[in-house]
Structure 1
Amino acid sequence: MNQTMITAAATLGQLQKQMDIISNNIANIDTNGYKGRDATFADLLVQQFDNQPDQTKEVGRNTPYGIRIGAGAKIAQSQLDESQGAVKQTNRPLDVSFTKENQYLKVLNDQNGQNSICYTRDGNLSVSPVGKNELMLVNSSGLPILDENNKVITFQDNVKDYTITEQGQFKVNSVNGQTTSFNLGVVTADKPQFLEQAGDNLLDVPSQFSANPAGIIKEMTGPLRAQVSMQQGALESSNVDMGKEMTDLLNAQRSYQFQSRAITLSDQMAGLVNSLR
């Protein structure tokens, strides 16, 4: 196998990952609060041959010295697009949309039998019975929504209506006139590129940072609650642009075909060389 085939094969694998990212974006174009990802590429290690040891003979050269042979490309980063999606009105009391970027609700997720805190911008909330005359606030997948103290939000089922304030205070108004209030658990992602997909439209802090996620996320508690911005009766749409994704997919497919063709031509050239007598 010559260098051309090795380079093309390495790049093929990275192009396949890019197409997987694009396909995932397209599949979630109608998912509430979904944030698309954009793959960026970087060169792999380059092999350099210094064919001219006397650089005084290269005076006036505008390109770097030597001859460099690349080894393909790799995905340097799968960048999370944090731009705000379109807000659509639903007039449903348990629907809520963030109106600022980088803010997320806290969700209690069950991963392999262990509870962990994940984050989502999907504000399609509902209630689920958890005991006699008791309800729990959950997301669209049935996972518990947490308050600012990482406690599950539960309340009595004698509910008249719900109110969610702009600063993320969840109020349960009962039929007897009493009101129970909870501060929804909200965080701001200071370094959203560190967040990983955890399934079910959730994001999670990588395991190596889970013990101390303070540098990646910031708890919106105390005076920081004033910075929380929500809108009741609305949902944030996905920020995926179908036109852009289809263009990126076509470019990736053409690059994939080009690399495949390079392998075919290299194989044909090797066959010709081996057939020489």
Structure 2
Amino acid sequence: MDRSQAFQLVGVGLRTPHLDYFEHNANQVGWLEIHSENYFQTNSAEYQQLLAIREQVEISCHGIGLSLGSTSKVSQSHLLSLQQLIREIQPFVVSDHLSWSEHGGHYFNDLLPLPYTEEALQLFCRNVQQVQDAIQRPLLIENPSSYLRFNHSTIPEWEFLAEVQRQTDCRLLLDLNNVHVSCFNHQYDTNQYLAAIDPSTVDEIHLAGFTRKQLEQGEIWIDTHSARVSDEVWQLYEDWNRVNTPVPTLIEWDLDIPAPPVLLEEANKAIDILLEAPSSQTLRSA
């Protein structure tokens, strides 16, 4: 792999403070990720900027509001807005989370964990299939970060995620920071978690920073997306790419958003790691 190939694989999150920058500097990055719901209003100035940026660089649509784990079916109005965005932007991937955030018309400002049971598995697969039928393409499902788990769960998270993929033919978005955070919080084995993920089903990787917080009950790690990628997560990324085909990789930063050069520095770290990946492997580009 040469540097231009590695460059095309690495993207950063396109957040509102950086719209002006990337409208004029889109060539500084291989691709950009948007939060889909931020661009459902097609008459907004931000949407017009997105269209201008899309003319210059590939975009991925990362959803935070489908609430795929809810007992109710996915909102039809939400799906219609997503379909319209996909038609206009033609993203190279569309993704959402292994979580839920809506119940009875009430929306929560968080991505909440599921009970990992057979019933929840069937509900989640039903909702994933509903979205895939609507958008006429595979949906990428991202593994969550979590801070509590249900006592009545009967399926390990990694097996639940893999079974969703098998039953729906969706694809996976592997967030290595989320693996790192959740494994610490729940005392999971990181190697066991990653060993259960079929690399051929992974179409994207997320890298981000997290926050350590000390509580009376002990230390907890929180997936804040507010810092540079940790050394431990960089090591997970290096280990993954040592044995697996490189895929599009995102530097994710959502709080305490830094100036664009900081994001690009992080992107360059990912590029350097990809340059060390076995050059004989077939690349899956953005």
- TM class by smaller structure: under 0.3
Higher RCO by CA contacts (8 Å cutoff, separation 6 or greater): 1
Higher helix share: 2
In the superposition, the TM-score normalised over structure 2's length comes to 0.19
Which structure has greater strand proportion? 1
| Greater radius of gyration (CA) | 1
TM-score normalized by the length of structure 1: 0.19
